[in-house]
Structure 1
Amino acid sequence: MNLIETLIGTPIGYIMSFCYNLIGNYGWTIIIFTILIKLITFPIGIMVQKNSIKMIKMQPMIAELKRKYPEKADKDQFMEEQIALFKNEKYSVGMGFIPMIIQIVVILGIIYVIYNPLEYLLGISNENISALYVVTTHILGTDEFGPSAGLTVIDVVRNGQYMNLFDAMVPENVINNIMQFDTSFLGLNLASVPTLNRQLVTIPILSAVSALVLCLVQNKENVLQQQQGRLNKWGMTIFLVAFSLYFTFVVPAGVGLYWICSNLFSAIQIYILNWIYNPKKYIDYEDLEASKEANKILKEIKEQKKAQSKINAPREKADYKRFLETEGKQLVFYSEKSGFYKYFHNIVDEIIKRSDIVIHYVTSDPNDAIFNKNEEQISPYYIGEKRLIPLFMKMDADMVIMTMPDLDNFHIKRSMLRKDIEYVYIFHAPLSFIMTIRDKAIDNYDTIFCTGIHQVKEIRESEKLYGLKPKMLVECGYGVIENMRQHFQEKKDIYLNKPIKSILIAPTWNEDNILDSCLDDILENILDKGWKVIVRPHPEYIKRFPLKMKSMIEKFEDRIGEYFEIQTDFSSNETVYSADILITDWSWIAYEYSLSTLRPSLFINTKMKVANPNWDELSLTPLNLSLRSQIGIQLEKQEVSKRIAGEIEKMLANYSDYEKRIKDIEEKYIFNFGKSGIIGASYIIAKLKG
């Protein structure tokens, strides 16, 4: 016996033999066999139903993860959290394949049994089967019977002309069994392969009809198929109907009968499974539809972005060509979007003041404000994400400055043309970084412009821990806070003498942020206290979770007015400067706000975002943990209702204490306050002119 016979044909043969001996009718044998298979595999059907319900139940959560990790660089983190979600929900990825595998095995087995009825249905011994083959070969003058050898033997025996030859080779009871074996059912020979000009054409037609019935039932009732798009549903329907029609034209009609019965019984089984495990009891379909609507909005945004990219393609192509054709480039800045210019601002201004170096400013934002600057020393280029990859591979400059981490870790690589380019990293957050960016995110930079002493310590300890070559660390400072402080001081009298104190709520957009976890508790306890409360969601939150935003606005719509505002316009930072207290979770805006205005921040301890799970391998405590209680206070979520209003009153009454603490932090942890642009520019000019 070969492997297929042993593993598939034999067990299927035993079941069909049992059915045939019980009924004695070939067609009904196949029908009863199909019912038995459905009964045997029904527990698996229940498991698949449960698993499918879990999958649909998880769809909003998976969609949330996709919105949380939209970038290619976040793929590993997305997969890790998705696997954790599957594990938590006890969802099996491979469960859905089991029915298909069973169907394939049964089809192979039934084909084998139908082609070999002597052994499996009539129970004739191998010795007698061999004798029958010998006689048949002698009569027909050939042994080339193909897979239908058993059926050929039956046809020759039932012909009756050569009975004397068969009687001489095999026992009479074997011949009698063969003579009584009838493969017809309702006037159709189920052992024959259907053709267009025979009655058997009804089998393929009924097969296609049964497939259509199954697909229609699945599209309407199956918990998974219900959620597919119209194109997907009808595409699968057309494929299965066409496949069923073709398939039953190339196998014996008995297989076609099984296929018809299997399709119809599967359709019935869907209703039974839905009755046993009703998806509506386990799935929040309103939440599911809301998630779909959010995905639809995001898809529209992506399509708009894609259309805009297409419009900007000629411009991008021209800028790409111009950049590569420009020879003698000394200095290149790269910005991911317009808002990132603030990290370069002071340094760029000082370079222009102190040198004639041309700044080649590459941005992936077609609407970057850099294109509106009328400055001869700045040559701007728009390069989208796809062309950015080859542009960096072909980079030809003396120095490249970026705020983007993970150089050479993902799609953005160091130059393949020049190995002597100095790559400089500028932080876009002050104080500390080991928790907030990925492990090894800045390892492939040559030079780091540090905002303060703690970053220097973190880098040096990381280099020692991982055996890395020491980088050039420039004690630069942080221009963003310097500029914010200057702006605040210029309008200080206005900000300090407002008739109404203002409270700004400005959280992150990460999992368990204030808006998702405790906004109701906060507002319930600080509205109607005589303060103006402004909720300012993170721009990414507005972009990724439009339905949550819509729901939040609708929920508090009747409270919006003079003392309450939900702000979605980020064109101005006046609400930040004018806030008397900032409430946040883990956003770096707290440090920028407090260090620029010298006012305290109130932190809610939501779930902490950790981009680097290995941060605790260093002996240093991240400043974004240790300084929270120095520039303000921390509250656990469960403390909000009882304490938040009282703590705000205390903070408002003790400005002077916080001002001194915050000034101490500035002096201890921020380099060269007010001079970061000069320090950074001086280093760049010296390296390029030296």
Structure 2
Amino acid sequence: MILTAYDGAILGPIARVLGWIMNWIYVFMTDVCGIENISLTIIIFTIVIYMCLFPITYQQQKFSKLSMKMQPELQKVQKKYQGKKDQVSMQAMQDETQAVYQKYGVSPTGSCVYMLINFPILLALYRVFYNVPAYLGSVKSQFSALVDGIMATSDYQNIMAKFVEEVNLKTVRVDFTSTDHTVLSNYIVDTLYAMNSSGWELLKDKFSGLTDVIVSTQEHISKINNFIGINISDTPLNVIKTSMGNHAYLMVILALLIPVTSYLTQVLNIKLMPQATANGGDNDAMAAQMNTMNKIMPLFSLVFCFTVPVGLGIYWIISALVRTIQQICLNKHFEKIDLDDIIKKNQEKAKKKREKMGISENQINQAAKLKTKNISEPAVSSKEKEEILEKAAVNRSKAKPGSMSAKANLVKEFNEKNSR
């Protein structure tokens, strides 16, 4: 993964905006509060972002509550047309389902819209936290003197290429064969930011003439990257290995706390969220899939958190805690409010929206009557239609001479003879 600023068409601009906000928080904490620390910046930044995303979270939760309330009606429609695959029944089922959604004033794609807004922001956040110097100019400038010294050293590209191999940095992929000065400078910053303490010691051997600037840069970066004694650019797994070798067991415990806390906070957050319930049919499968995902995702976080920078683990923990607090508040809020009142308001909003589009309620009602005039009646399958036609044929064969049915039979026989 190349850690320099991502230039994708969608996530790139979003990541740059988020990076600008995070850089502003970092500068404010440094200049105003006198606290120069990236981990604290990540914590404050995460809280700010999730507070900004709260209106979307609220709408998503409201949609979930309304969906749970209308599930019995949707299941009733599904049960009514269960096993019926003919076109008439399928259309009737679709119309009745749409009528239920209109009744509650929500859109079937409501949750998807909220996810489409939320998901790119969260992906862009990963880009920012994975490579802080690429988005925080104030942090990147801390490496300037050392980067200039390295690039002024003869054959520095080959030295850096061998250095990356020896340090075995798995979180970065760099190409020191590039001829672009800016690209090479960014690659060096990526490498320096991702290094652990042993990497800095090896760097002194590779660039012996830069020992003083290496030491001063290391001390400053260690200070701003410090979180409970751990370098946030390091991975918990590497901290555990190094600390075990040095018999620093307290550091082992602190490093273990990062993935474990990430797992526990996500489990707590999931338990507080509205859960899908199994009520028969397709909902059983959907509920089972959701329950499986709810078990797998925290476990995935637990395992993955060992191999990513501690800074990313901090983000997962704080974001889960913020979501948990928001969820507690939302649950209490939705316990007090009247969902029927929300449904009425949603219906009014939908009505006004249709009126702006030039669609009157009379037109909607007339269209609904034409489309769903037989919906209130039990759906008729193809087999039932065949049985009705057979009974009608038997009744026609027993028609009395001179009756309308008998005359209709004569006309049918005449048409059949002429069509042969």
TM-score (norm. length: structure 2) = 0.59
Are the structure 2 counterparts of residues 118 and 6 from structure 1 closer, same or farther at C-alpha, using a change threshold of 3 Å? closer
Who is 1:120 aligned against? 136
Who is 1:25 aligned against? 37
Match of 1:278, SS? Answer: helix
5 Å-filtered alignment, 1:391-470, equals none
Query: Letter of the aligned partner of 2:160 in structure 1?
Result: L
Who is 1:492 aligned against? none
5 Å-filtered alignment, 1:518-557, equals none
Whose Rg is larger?
1
Who is 1:102 aligned against? 118
- Give structure 2 stretches of 5+ with no counterpart: 30-34, 165-171, 175-186, 242-251, 342-382
Contact 1:210 1:264 survives alignment (8 Å): yes
1:342 pairs with 2:391: yes
CA distance in 2, matches of 1:672, 1:133: 108
CA distance in 2, matches of 1:259, 1:225: 27
Who is 1:150 aligned against? 189
Aligned length, in residue pairs: 316
5 Å-filtered alignment, 1:244-323, equals 244-278=301-335, 281-282=338-339
1:216 pairs with 2:216: no
Contact 1:17 1:122 survives alignment (8 Å): yes
Match of 1:3, SS? Answer: coil
1:673 pairs with 2:375: no
Query: Letter of the aligned partner of 2:106 in structure 1?
Result: Y
How far off is 1:158 after superposition? 5.7
Contact 1:207 1:244 survives alignment (8 Å): yes
How far off is 1:339 after superposition? 5.4
Contact 1:16 1:121 survives alignment (8 Å): no
CA distance in 1, matches of 2:77, 2:138: 58
Query: Letter of the aligned partner of 2:227 in structure 1?
Result: F
- As a proportion of its length, which structure holds more strand? 1
Are the structure 2 counterparts of residues 65 and 203 from structure 1 closer, same or farther at C-alpha, using a change threshold of 3 Å? same
Who is 1:331 aligned against? none
Are the structure 2 counterparts of residues 9 and 44 from structure 1 closer, same or farther at C-alpha, using a change threshold of 3 Å? same
CA distance in 1, matches of 2:278, 2:40: 34
5 Å-filtered alignment, 1:73-222, equals 73=87, 74-83=89-98, 85-87=100-102, 89-97=104-112, 98-99=114-115, 102-103=118-119, 105-117=121-133, 119-120=135-136, 122-124=138-140, 128=144, 131=148, 134=151, 137=157, 139-142=159-162, 146=173, 150-154=189-193, 155=195, 159=201, 161=204, 162=207, 165=210, 175=217, 178-179=220-221, 181-195=223-237, 198=241, 199=252, 200-218=255-273, 222=274
How far off is 1:75 after superposition? 2.9
Query: Letter of the aligned partner of 2:236 in structure 1?
Result: P
How far off is 1:10 after superposition? 1.6
Are the structure 2 counterparts of residues 176 and 208 from structure 1 closer, same or farther at C-alpha, using a change threshold of 3 Å? closer
Match of 2:236, SS? Answer: coil
How far off is 1:282 after superposition? 1.2
Are the structure 2 counterparts of residues 8 and 247 from structure 1 closer, same or farther at C-alpha, using a change threshold of 3 Å? farther
Are the structure 2 counterparts of residues 185 and 133 from structure 1 closer, same or farther at C-alpha, using a change threshold of 3 Å? same
How far off is 1:272 after superposition? 0.7
Q: 2:299 aligns with which of 234, 242, 248?
A: 242
- As a proportion of its length, which structure holds more helix? 2
5 Å-filtered alignment, 1:472-551, equals none
1:8 pairs with 2:14: yes
CA distance in 2, matches of 1:243, 1:164: 44
Cα RMSD for the two superposed structures: 4.4
Are the structure 2 counterparts of residues 109 and 177 from structure 1 closer, same or farther at C-alpha, using a change threshold of 3 Å? farther
Match of 2:237, SS? Answer: coil
Who is 1:360 aligned against? none
CA distance in 1, matches of 2:117, 2:409: 69
Who is 2:179 aligned against? none
Match of 2:316, SS? Answer: helix
Query: Letter of the aligned partner of 2:230 in structure 1?
Result: L
Who is 1:66 aligned against? 78
How far off is 1:140 after superposition? 3.0
Query: Letter of the aligned partner of 1:55 in structure 2?
Result: S
Residues 504-524 of structure 1: CA deviation (Å, up to 9, x unaligned): xxxxxxxxxxxxxxxxxxxxx
Contact 1:12 1:109 survives alignment (8 Å): yes
Match of 1:675, SS? Answer: helix
Are the structure 2 counterparts of residues 34 and 76 from structure 1 closer, same or farther at C-alpha, using a change threshold of 3 Å? same
Contact 1:215 1:237 survives alignment (8 Å): yes
Contact 2:16 2:135 survives alignment (8 Å): no
Query: Letter of the aligned partner of 1:248 in structure 2?
Result: C
Are the structure 2 counterparts of residues 76 and 133 from structure 1 closer, same or farther at C-alpha, using a change threshold of 3 Å? farther
Who is 2:378 aligned against? none
How far off is 1:238 after superposition? 1.6
Are the structure 2 counterparts of residues 687 and 167 from structure 1 closer, same or farther at C-alpha, using a change threshold of 3 Å? farther
CA distance in 2, matches of 1:166, 1:92: 63
Contact 2:74 2:97 survives alignment (8 Å): yes
Residues 433-481 of structure 1: CA deviation (Å, up to 9, x unaligned): xxxxxxxxxxxxxxxxxxxxxxxxxxxxxxxxxxxxxxxxxxxxxx6xx
- Give structure 1 stretches of 5+ with no counterpart: 285-333, 351-478, 487-670
Contact 1:122 1:178 survives alignment (8 Å): no
5 Å-filtered alignment, 1:512-661, equals none
CA distance in 1, matches of 2:210, 2:59: 55
Identity of counterpart residues, as a percentage?
Answer: 21
Residues 230-249 of structure 1: CA deviation (Å, up to 9, x unaligned): 63453122221232224324
